[in-house]
Amino acid sequence: MVRCIVLGRFQPFHMGHARLVEAAIKHAQGDEVVVAIGSAQAEWEARNPWTFDERCEMVQAWATEHQHAVTVVGIDDINDAPNWVEHATETHGEGVLVTSDGPTAELYQASHWTIHHVDLHERETFEGWRVRQSIRMLSTVMDDDATREVLKQSIPSAVIEWLVEHDAIFRCSTFDTGVHAG
């Protein structure tokens, strides 16, 4: 058994994140899985439209639906890559980093962490900015069923329901991201 850490911003928690957490659960073999939400101090901005508490609720909604036990923690940005691992470890603790992100893996490996690499799956579909752009386009559609249908390819159903129930989709419509949706 091994304690596993999954690190991300989860803006929002999407299928790629779910795949990563599921890989951590499998690798942990019954030990603790910690989902560490980065940019915990960020909220209500184009790149970070949901607060830490909201992202925590999304992760927990998914975990509950799939009957997974995970611990969720928040890590504030320090914008200091050489000291990031030490800073983050103070919050998420020691363990094995489960990641599909090369630069993050390299950063943790340089700090003598064990890395469990998960291959990227449908990266073009599960990039956070693409998911947020889809949500942004749907933010003016006042049809929850249509929203569910479009988002089900990239966001777990429990998270879609959380977004709908908390009227949190509109959030993406309030920002000028400068990213072309086409």
Query: Which pLDDT score is estimated for 127?
Result: 73
Residues 73 and 33: beta-carbon distance below 8 Å: no
Sign of CA dihedral 66, 67, 69, 74: positive
pLDDT in tens, the chain (182 residues): 799 999 999 999 999 999 999 999 999 999 999 999 999 998 888 788 999 999 999 999 999 999 999 999 999 999 998 899 999 999 999 999 999 999 999 999 999 999 999 987 666 666 777 888 888 888 777 788 988 998 998 999 999 999 999 988 877 765 554 444 43
Pairing of strands 96-99, 114-117: parallel
Dig out the tokens for 98 from the structure. Answer: 């489960």
Dig out the tokens for 175 from the structure. Answer: 């920002």
For residue 170, what is the DSSP state? G
For residue 49, whether the previous peptide bond is cis, meaning omega lies within 30 degrees of 0, is no
Run of H or E residues at 35? strand 33-37
DSSP-assigned states of every residue in 70-116: -EEEE----S-HHHHHHHHHHHH-SSEEEES-HHHHHHHHHTT-EEE
- Laid out side by side, the sheet with 33-37 consists of 71-74, 33-37, 4-8, 96-99, 114-117
Dig out the tokens for 152 from the structure. Answer: 């089900």
Query: Which pLDDT score is estimated for 121?
Result: 67
Query: Which pLDDT score is estimated for 123?
Result: 62
